[in-house]
């Protein structure tokens, strides 16, 4: 038998170790990547028994939840000492510092102890799971738990408190997903966002869905933050372009002070993926528009680390620090694939220049037809195709960053104009189509963002299949691409001058059924077994408001693999942009 004191010490040590390790913020993206991580053993040695008092601490950025499964969900908060709300990371000897920043606050050798409760009721009396962990400056005082013991497709409420204290966070609400393969009792509602630029506007699009309480889950297709320096309706801190870990943490923290974003995180579980601006503009696997080499490598490490700290998401493969692509099975209703077509393993993109002119776009034009070109990387491609083939749910919903459909400007040049989209990765797109066709896969719906404009298309593989733009015959599915929460219009012209451009785009692209360059906003999906309804909302983002208008609406009927014609797409009327065979009323 061990002497009692030794046994007690072992128990104390294991409790302390377990407590650090229960905070998932210490695990991703770096736990199994020693060169990125601050070892937990070092942190616990430094901090155990050296805790901040409750009076020194605040819940600084509300609560959030995300990546729901049928029996668990990730819940998030940040518990920081008020005197050092912006923390650096403290790097022990022998670990390569991933950034150095003279402006960052001094790291602390103290830890904060935090507990959570999750319950079926808002008063948190019917508690179904609870837990306790530490956080520290090493992870920017962020806290991520996996709350478990939950029932499928059920609403829960959760709250954090400082250990042994009545100091609490706000109460958050979240929801699990239906169990894979089971019948879902009602339509599932998604709100789909992309391109939320804090300096360029208010996050009214988030606020509108909070006010309506109209979604089960929130999807964000990337450009959740922007890295560059900007000051328009407001300023994103730090007031410079982001490079260091401190910069990316501070940038996300600034966005999270937005009340509409904070309210959305507190009310709904999020399932986000990143696009380019979570690292930097026009990112690909080996650089961005304005960074490459060692600068890029460090910048991306910092960006990825800050993202995992601050976002309520899972790292589904601990040995792959860059993997964010993952899937969710929502009963037997739909399988949701969240892709990373940007940061994971993308081949060279257009870093500057446009439509084959200027910058490196000539080089990209040379490569566009290479069969070995990939936007996803081959590892992710294999996973995606296997997932599509194995999926037995009614629908396959694919959350993706950039526009999937071929988009050209006709008359002058019938050539795709944006090689930063799937149009620059033709072989990869062909492989997606080939998988769909070879396996007779029905009911595929692509969701896209990135472009700051709205594009609704039938999915068409022009090289392989004739397509009738009026009936939709020959299509393999549907693409719904949303505008931006607040990022500026892609073409900064007044509405009346955008109208002819939109009509020209419709005329140049047979599969494109509705397009709009003017409105800021988002779209909502109501997914049922017989059909999916997609509603696009438009709004102003220059003043804070929840005013919005329905600008177009589409139906996708199960088994049709195209936008429903009733009798024409969208019922023949839209309130923004231009609609094929339809009326525009604005």
- Strand boundaries in 303-388, DSSP class E: 326-330, 334-338
At closest approach, how far in Å is the CB of 372 from ligand NAG?
A: 4
User: Least distance to ligand NAG from the beta carbon of 123, Å?
Assistant: 47
Helices (H) and strands (E) in the chain, counts: 10, 27
The distance of closest approach from Cβ of residue 247 to ligand NAG in the complex, given in angstroms and rounded to an integer, is: 21
In three-state secondary structure terms, 47 is helix
Residue 370 contacts ligand NAG per CB under 6 A: yes
Burial of 21 (0-12, 13-18, 19+ CB in 10 A): middle
Contacts of 71 (CB under 8 A, 6+ apart): 148, 149, 150, 151, 152, 176
Q: Please say which residue, 363 or 468, places its beta carbon nearer to ligand NAG.
A: 363
378 binds ligand NAG (CB under 6 A): no
Q: Which residue lies nearer to ligand NAG by CB, 129 or 335?
A: 335
Distance (Å, rounded) from C-alpha 152 to C-alpha 70?
Answer: 4
- Taking the CA atoms of residue 308, residue 311, residue 315 and residue 319 in that order, the dihedral angle to the nearest 10 degrees is -10
Decide: is 559 part of the binding site for ligand NAG (CB under 6 A): yes
Is 154 near ligand NAG (CB under 6 A)? no
Binding segment toward ligand NAG, per CB under 6 A, in 70-78, 231-239, 438-446, 548-556: 438-446
Residue closer to ligand NAG, measured from CB, 297 or 544? 297
Q: How far is the CB of 286 from ligand NAG (least distance, A)?
A: 4
Q: Which residue lies nearer to ligand NAG by CB, 293 or 567?
A: 293
What is the bridge-based pairing of β-strands 334-338 and 395-399?
Answer: parallel
d(CA 121, CA 156): 7
Here's the x/- map for ligand NAG, 182-201, by CB under 6 A: it reads as: --------------------
* Residue 59 beta carbon to ligand NAG: minimum distance, rounded to whole angstroms: 41
Three-class secondary structure of residue 521 per DSSP: strand
Query: Closest approach of Cβ 27 to ligand NAG, in Å?
Result: 29
Among 96, 440, 463, 466, contact with ligand NAG (rule: CB under 6 A): 440
Q: Ramachandran region of residue 174, left (φ > 0), alpha (ψ -120 to 50) or beta?
A: beta
**Footprint (CB under 6 A) of ligand NAG, residues 502-531:** none
Within 222-377, where are the H helices?
245-255, 259-267, 293-310, 361-367
* Footprint on residues 293-352 left by ligand NAG (CB under 6 A): 293
Question: Residues 166, 372, 463, 494: which binds ligand NAG (CB under 6 A)?
Answer: 372
For residues 180 and 533, give the distance between their C-alpha atoms in angstroms, rounded to a whole number.
Answer: 22
Q: How far apart are CB 304 and ligand NAG at their closest, in Å?
A: 17
Name the residue nearer to ligand NAG (CB basis): 93 or 294. 294
Nearest to 324 by CA among 187, 197, 221, 173: 221
Question: What minimum distance in Å lies between the beta carbon of 377 and ligand NAG?
Answer: 12
Tell me the C-alpha distance between 166 and 152, whole Å.
Answer: 30
CB of 442 to ligand NAG, least distance (A): 4
Residue span binding ligand NAG (CB under 6 A) among the ranges 10-18, 23-31, 169-177, 434-442: 434-442
Cβ 448 vs Cβ 394: under 8 Å? no
Q: Which is nearer to ligand NAG, 411 or 440 (CB)?
A: 440
SS3 (DSSP) at 303: helix
Q: Which of residues 68-127 bind ligand NAG (CB under 6 A)?
A: none
In this structure, the number of other CB atoms found within 10 A of the CB of residue 120 comes to 15
> Does 558 sit near ligand NAG (CB under 6 A)?
no
Could you say which of 120, 152, 257, 442 contacts ligand NAG (CB under 6 A)? 442
Taking the complex as a whole, the smallest distance from the CB of residue 374 to ligand NAG amounts, in Å, to 10
- Pick the stretch among 31-39, 96-104, 435-443, 453-461 that binds ligand NAG (CB under 6 A): 435-443
- Please report how close the Cβ of residue 371 comes to ligand NAG at its closest, in angstroms: 7
- The candidate with the shortest Cα–Cα distance to 554, out of 577, 531, 520, is 531
| Radius of gyration of the chain, Cα coordinates, nearest whole angstrom | 24
Contacts of 309 (CB under 8 A, 6+ apart): 25, 139, 140, 142, 144, 249
| Residue closer to ligand NAG (CB basis): 292 or 430 | 292
Using the contact rule CB under 6 A, the part of the chain among 130-138, 416-424, 437-445, 535-543 near ligand NAG is: 437-445
Minimum distance from CB of 430 to ligand NAG (Å)? 15
Residue 23 to residue 14: CA distance in whole angstroms: 15
- For ligand NAG, the closer CB: 102 or 293: 293
Runs of H (alpha helix) within 409-467: 426-438
Reduced to 3 states (helix: H, G, I; strand: E, B; else coil), residue 496 is helix
Interface positions, 257-286, toward ligand NAG (CB under 6 A): 286
The torsion defined by the Cα of 29, 32, 38 and 41, in degrees rounded to 10, comes to 130
CB atoms within 10 A of CB 470: 11
Report CA torsion sign: 375, 380, 386, 387.
negative
Stretch that binds ligand NAG, among 32-40, 41-49, 440-448, 495-503 (CB under 6 A): 440-448
Q: Which CB atom, from 137 or from 349, has the smaller least distance to ligand NAG? A: 349
Choice between 48 and 286, CB closer to ligand NAG: 286
Strand ranges of the sheet holding 531-539, from the earlier edge strand across to the other edge: 142-147, 73-81, 57-66, 269-272, 217-220, 188-193, 520-527, 531-539, 549-557
Distance of CA 586 to the CA centre of its chain: 32
Binding mask 281-300 for ligand NAG (x = CB under 6 A): -----x-----xx-------
Work out how close the CB of 440 gets to ligand NAG at its nearest, in angstroms, rounded to a whole number: 4
Residue 461: which of 556, 385, 562 has the closest Cα? 562
Task: Determine the distance from the C-alpha atom of residue 155 to the mean position of all C-alpha atoms in its chain, rounded to a whole number.
Answer: 22
Whose Cβ is closer to ligand NAG: residue 347's or residue 548's? 347
Least gap, CB of 390 to ligand NAG (angstroms)? 11
> Between residues 217 and 422, which has the closer beta carbon with respect to ligand NAG?
422
Residues lying near ligand NAG in the complex (CB under 6 A) are found at 286, 292-293, 370, 372, 440-442, 559
């Amino acid at each position: 038998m061990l002497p009692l004191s030794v046994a007690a010490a072992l128990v104390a040590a294991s409790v302390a170790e377990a407590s650090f390790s229960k905070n998932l913020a210490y695990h991703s993206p770096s736990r199994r990547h020693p060169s990125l991580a601050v070892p937990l053993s070092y942190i616990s040695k430094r901090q155990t028994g050296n805790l901040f008092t409750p009076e020194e601490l605040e819940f600084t950025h509300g609560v959030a939840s995300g990546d729901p499964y049928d029996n668990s969900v990730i819940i998030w908060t940040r518990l920081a000492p008020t005197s050092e709300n912006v923390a650096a990371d403290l790097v022990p000897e022998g670990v390569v510092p991933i950034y150095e920043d003279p402006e960052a606050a001094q790291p602390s050798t103290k830890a904060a102890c935090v507990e959570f409760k999750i319950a079926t009721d808002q008063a948190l009396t019917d508690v179904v799971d609870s837990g306790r962990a530490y956080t520290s400056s090493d992870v920017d005082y962020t806290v991520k738990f996996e709350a478990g013991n939950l029932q499928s497709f059920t609403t829960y409420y959760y709250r954090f408190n400082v250990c042994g204290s009545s100091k609490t966070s706000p109460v958050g609400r979240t929801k699990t997903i239906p169990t894979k393969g089971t019948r879902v009792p009602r339509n599932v509602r998604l709100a789909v966002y992309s391109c939320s630029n804090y300096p360029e506007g208010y996050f009214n699009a988030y606020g509108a869905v909070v006010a309506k309480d109209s979604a089960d889950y929130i999807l964000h297709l990337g450009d959740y933050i922007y890295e560059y320096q900007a000051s328009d309706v407001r300023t994103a801190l730090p007031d410079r372009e982001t490079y260091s870990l401190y910069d990316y943490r501070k940038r996300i923290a600034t966005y999270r002070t937005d009340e509409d974003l904070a309210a959305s995180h507190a009310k709904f579980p999020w399932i986000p993926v990143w696009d380019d601006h979570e690292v930097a503009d026009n990112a690909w696997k080996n650089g961005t528009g304005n960074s490459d080499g060692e600068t890029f490598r460090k910048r991306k490490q910092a960006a990825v680390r800050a993202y995992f700290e601050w976002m309520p998401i899972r790292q589904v493969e601990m040995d792959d620090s860059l993997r964010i692509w993952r899937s969710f099975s929502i009963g037997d209703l739909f399988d949701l694939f969240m892709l990373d077509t940007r940061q994971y393993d993308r081949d060279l993109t257009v870093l500057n220049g446009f439509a084959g002119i200027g910058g490196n776009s000539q080089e990209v034009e040379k490569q566009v037809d290479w069969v070995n070109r990939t936007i996803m990387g081959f590892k992710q491609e294999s996973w995606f195709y296997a997932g599509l083939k194995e999926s037995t749910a009614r629908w396959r919903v694919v959350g993706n960053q950039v526009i999937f459909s071929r988009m050209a400007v006709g008359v002058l040049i019938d050539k795709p104009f944006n090689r930063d989209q799937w149009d620059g990765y033709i072989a990869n797109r062909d492989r997606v189509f080939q998988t769909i066709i070879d396996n007779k896969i029905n009911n595929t719906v692509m969701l896209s963002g990135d472009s700051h404009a709205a594009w609704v298309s039938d999915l068409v593989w022009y090289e392989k299949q004739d397509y009738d733009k009026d009936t939709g015959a020959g299509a393999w599915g549907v693409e719904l691409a949303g505008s931006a929460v607040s990022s500026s219009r892609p073409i900064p012209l007044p509405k009346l001058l955008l109208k002819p451009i939109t009509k020209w785009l419709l005329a140049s692209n047979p599969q494109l059924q509705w397009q709009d360059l003017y409105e800021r906003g988002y779209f909502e999906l109501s997914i049922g077994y017989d059909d999916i309804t997609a509603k696009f909302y438009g709004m102003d983002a220059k003043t804070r408001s929840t005013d919005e208008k329905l600008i177009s609406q589409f139906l996708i009927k199960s088994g049709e693999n195209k936008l429903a014609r009733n009798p024409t797409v969208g019922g023949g009327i839209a309130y923004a942009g231009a609609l094929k065979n339809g009326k525009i009323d604005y």
